[in-house]
Amino acid sequence: MVFAPSYVVVFDADGTVLHDIDTEDGSEVRRINQVLSPPEIFLDDVNAQETDGNRSQDYVIKPNYEIDLKEFEDALEAMDSADTSQERGDAFEEFAGILMEAMPFIRVRERNLRSRTNELDLVVEYTGADDTRIFDKVSSDFLIECKHWSEPVGSDPVGNFIQKMDKLSVDFGIIFARNGITGDEQTDGYGQIRDAFIQSEKVILVIDDEDIERLLGGKSLYHILDEKYYNRRFDRK
């Protein structure tokens, strides 16, 4: 697009001028507005034209990610409006499950699994994909811990999560923590996460409220996890 004091020029992908007005016909203005209006669904992958044309506008579709916005918003509202800590925790686990299963190659196998030795919020399985994903580099089953706490999660709960991973021979986990993890890369919760990677190559990623805001802004969870995995893998700040 080109904007100037007296005209607007719109080009298509091939450089062809679609409209050129000089503050004259109102119908042309309406036509340009129609051309430039956002699509009913958001598509940014190369196979966008192959997507079902009848899909509701309440979906966001991106590579490796497809989510029903109403389901997402309802789960977020349920989490924020819950009256008790138990209800908030349950709603947060449901919310995390919805986010994970928005990736077409991920399914939640268990919720609130009580094994002989552990209590597990979510057990998630990577079912495989045509192209390489970050999950190809770790165990196909992995763990998710959900902490809907008003304070950052401290080193003891993080250490307990690492112990669960040890007992189950799992090398990948995600902690959903509304207010993040204590410390920095050298101390407390984050320090333990870094040490677990250095000492035994266990990858633990943290999703907090800042990441949820990024999701609301249009980022996909897979993109966020891929970014965090890369930063952990190369020990980036």
Q: Alpha-carbon distance 179 to 14, whole Å? A: 47
Question: In the chain, what percentage of residues exceed pLDDT 90?
Answer: 55
Confidence at residue 124, expressed as pLDDT on a 0 to 100 scale: 96
> Could you report the per-residue pLDDT of 65-115, keeping only the tens digit for each?
888 888 988 999 999 899 999 999 999 999 999 999 999 999 999 998 887
What one-letter code names the amino acid at 95? F
Of 42-56, 108-122, 146-160, the least confident: 42-56
Confidence at residue 202, expressed as pLDDT on a 0 to 100 scale: 96
Could you tell me which residue, 147 or 218, shows the higher pLDDT? 147
Predicted confidence (pLDDT) at residue 27 exceeds the cutoff of 90 = no
Contact 62, 221 (CB under 8 A): no
Q: Region 136-161: what's the mean pLDDT? A: 94
